[in-house]
Every structure is written in C-alpha cells, then in structure tokens.
Amino acid sequence: MTIPQYPLPPGRAAIHDPAIVEDRGTYYIFGTHRRCARSTDLVHWERFENNLSRNPESVLGGIWEAWPKQPENPDLNGNTWAPDVIWNPVMGKWCMYLSVNGHDFRSVIVLLTADRLDGDWTYVGPVVYSGFDRANVENTDVPRVLGDDSARDLPDRYLSLKDTRINAIDAAPIMCEHGEMWMSVGSWFGGIWMFRLDPTTGLRDYTAAYPYVKDACDPYYGVKVAGGYWNSGEGSYFVRKNGWWYLFLSYGWLGTTGGYQIRIFRSKHLTGPYVDQNGNPAICAGEIPDNLTKDTGVRLTSSVLWSGGPDRIGSVEVSQGHNSVLHRRSDGRLFLTYHTRFIEREGEDYETHIRELLPTEDGWLVAAPYEYQGQVATPPTHPTGRPDTCSSDDAPGPWTAKAAHPSWLSGDYELVRHDPHTFYNGERDADGEFVGINRPETITLQPDGRVTSGGAVSFFDTPEANLPRSTDGPAVRGTWRMLGDCGPAGVRCCDTDMAITLDGVTYTGVFAELPRETDGRMTLTFSAIGGNRTIWGARLT
C-alpha cells in the first residue's frame, strides 16, 4: 500500500483502515502501518508518534520472527494492518488489537496495551492465528483450542480458502451490553468470525468452546457472522444503538477502481443472525460472483457528484470503506469514520473522512449527505428563524411551536440514489461519463404531500384510439410526510423523522440541516432507507 503523497489540506488526516476512539474529549484514529492522529473537534487532525510508529521491531519483532515473517515478505514495516482499540475496564488499560500480516495468509492478531492513547504500547501476546497447516500448526495456539490430536490431524476446512482458511486481519473488539468482551476477525474471502475474549487478560477466552456447524460455527474461529466462499467482505465493525446491533462490512476491493463500499446489516443479538432490510443474511451460502454489485446488504454511501459537494469530478469519493464508528459520549451521536480514494489522484492516494450517522424511525442507520464539518445534524428550522402556525391553506395541523411544518420543508431537492449495482471502475459510458458516479435528479416535495418532478408530460395511454393527452403539471412520482403524529391534536414527537414514497418504494428517513461541503451554507437535507436502498436529498434553495 502506497503512503499518500498528495498534499493534505490543513487539518486533514490520511489514515487507512481508520479505527476511531475517544478519551476525555480528545479523539484518536489508529490505522494501518501504525499511522495515528488526534483531534478535539473531529475536523482538525494532527499526526503523532509512538513506539509502534518509531520502532515497530522493538515491540513486535518477536512475534514477527515467530510466525508471519517469510522470504516473500521480509519487512515488518509494511505488514502491520488495521488495528482497533478499546478500553478494557477490568484491566484498566487501552487494548489495541493489531494484525501482523504474512505471506499466504500466515498472519496473527496480537494484543498491545497502553495507559494513554497518545502514549507507548506494550506487547502482550497473540490472540488468533491464520495460515497454518499440518506442518506448522504446532507453532500456534490451535492445539490448545482444538486439542493436540485434532490439531495434528488438522481438518481440511482450514486449508480451503472457500471454507475456513481465513486471514487473521481486521480485528474488531466489542464490549457487549452484558459486559462480555468479544472480537471479530476475518478476511476478504473467508468470512467474518467472532469469539469471546477474557477481560482479565484481553486475550482469547480459552474456556469458551464452539461446536463445528458448517457455515455457522467453528471450534477455533468461533461464531460465523458474515461472508465466506471467496465473496468479498472485510473490515467488520459492530455498533449497538436503540436495541439493535449493526454490522458494517466493506465489499469490493480497496483500490481506486475496486468498488470498495460500506454495507450494513442488523441483529437483535451481537452474534447474529445479521440481515439486511430485505432479510438477506450476511452469511453467504455459496459463491456469488461480483457480490459487490448485488443486493445483499444496504449500501450506505457511494460516489456522488452534486452541487453541495463534492461538485468536481476530482473530489468525488471512490472506494470508500473499512470504517469504524465513534459513539460520542457527550451526546450519544454516531460518526462513521472511513478512508476514501479519489478519481484524479495518482498512486492510490487516500484520506480519512467522517460523516454523522442518523437513526431512522424504523430502526436503521443512514449516513448524512455531507461530510462532517463540526456542525451536527440539526432539526429543520423555520426559514425566518421563527416557528410556524397553521392556516386554513396549510397542510393538516395544528403544529406546535417546535414542530417542522410541511410548508417550509417543501421545495426543490436534488436526489441521489446509492446504486448497489454500480461502482467507479475507471470506464466511461456511451455519453462519456464515468461509470458508477451517481449524479442527482431534481424532485419537488410539494406542501400538500406530493412528490413531483419535471414539467407537464404528454403521453398516450390509449394507443388504439391514438388520443394524446398531457398532465396538468409535473408528473407525480409519489408522496412524502412527516412521521410521529400522536393523538388527535396532531402534535408530533419528532421534528426530523420522515417517509417518502418514490416510484413505488417507501423510504424512512431523517430531515436535517447541514453545512454544504462546497460553501458551508446550511442546507435542508434528508437521508432515507427503503427497499434495501439508501437515498440522499438536499434542497436547492
């Protein structure tokens, strides 16, 4: 992976596979190749160093020599991947889980601890291995987990890349709502697996046993939660909010033209089963060619070119992925943190970007349409700065002083659809436009609840009589409404929840005012999910 050479704007960070964590009002990001940065506002970042970045051999040299190092990859510096960091209250330590990567998937995730996030790290030990075979399995903890006899007669599934020969990368430690510690591990091809940790040591809990159940559970790697069968899916991350566990996965490949993208599933239980909005399971039942263009998983973001930003082809985000999520302590808000590449930057250059995540009334999470710039998503406010009241010409009410009124939420909006079937691949279509760049269409949210677009339309619906007719005005595409009416008074409990039915699909979403990326102007937006798809809207004036 090439270290970015593109000049970063002041305050920008370029951390690949970013893991975000908070301590005492300061935010920290740790990423691949031991790069790290900190911020007090989630906008302005500064790099800092520690003993891992200065001298990784002094910390990781022993385990590097013992397992991953091979003639094909003799340099430790390029083989420290995708850490994640969590506070362990039992140990009273910050715990970092880091992949030390080897050729042919001979990798190991190790635990390091620190007293301070901006301090030095102490090596503790290995947590989970991959890439073992019958000749070298004795050099791992597999015999301790499976038993000596089972390890010596290693099952064939650990030798199959379409079964359980995974790569021990992308650790995601989790503290569940009951106080147990778990960790997911996985790889692009072998699926995502999860096993329990011992909170007193931060290492594997060797008292936990898992039966072998094909495509569901493995004695060494634990519970299967997603992927498998050589289908793309990596960088798992888990978040609990409003009674749901959300699983984030990155489909595709991380290169500029690789279609890297974030998809989301949910479950009532940490260990699953995880499904998308249409009920499709996160676990694969077999090979799915080009699964990054299929309908499993809800795609959260895509490559967008629109007036609020990005508004230049060179600044369009492509290959967005390997996210983490900050659950901010001060207000409970969620922030999606990911790396992204760009069309016109050479050398696989990348940046770290952050967007707020917004919960919908039906229990899903959607991403804010604009990158976070220090202003959280706020409920809509009256254009004149004062609350509105109903008149006989207004939409049904009455409306309370704090309730958003349809008459001032209506207007012309840019609408972007996050198409799960396409991605930027460097090719152009017949019109010369890049494939996979989602451009907006204009729709109008009418005060009476209709959704329209365009002008009057002439059409034939009785071809045998050859009788043309035209609409009286713009064609109706659907309807929209605010959610949360409660009781005969018509008083709503929320100023943001909304639903929009567009071309036969109903989306549930959130209205929010956000600053545009291009000029910082506060703009009314919506983010919504429906039919296993997500959409963004931004008012034009």
Q: Phi and psi dihedrals of 301, rounded to 5?
A: -140, 170
Cβ–Cβ under 8 Å, residues 330 and 90: no
Angle at 399 between CA 397 and CA 400, to 5 degrees: 155
Strand partners, 213: 217
Q: Give the integer Cα–Cα distance in Å for 15 and 13.
A: 6
Q: Give the integer Cα–Cα distance in Å for 263 and 258.
A: 15
Cβ–Cβ under 8 Å, residues 130 and 102: no
Q: Give the integer Cα–Cα distance in Å for 97 and 113.
A: 9
Q: How far apart are the first and last CA of the chain?
A: 42
Q: Give the integer Cα–Cα distance in Å for 396 and 378.
A: 24
Q: Give the integer Cα–Cα distance in Å for 92 and 263.
A: 33
Maximum distance among all Cα pairs of the chain, rounded to whole angstroms: 85
Helix (H, G, I), strand (E, B) or coil at 487: coil
Give the rounded distance of the alpha carbon of 357 from its chain centre: 9
Cβ–Cβ under 8 Å, residues 143 and 158: no
Say if residue 447 is preceded by a cis peptide, omega within 30 of 0. Answer: no
Q: Give the integer Cα–Cα distance in Å for 254 and 261.
A: 9
Q: Using the structure block, give the residue that is written with the tokens 């290169």.
A: 255
Of 123, 136, 21, nearest in space to 76 by CA: 123
Cβ atoms within 10 Å, residue 521: 9
What are the DSSP calls for 208-237, one per residue? -----BTTTEETTTEEEEEBBTTB--EEEE
Active site residues: 17, 234
Q: How far is CA 510 from CA 20, 105, 193, 514, in A?
A: 25, 42, 33, 12
Cβ atoms within 10 Å, residue 414: 21
Q: Give the integer Cα–Cα distance in Å for 126 and 110.
A: 4
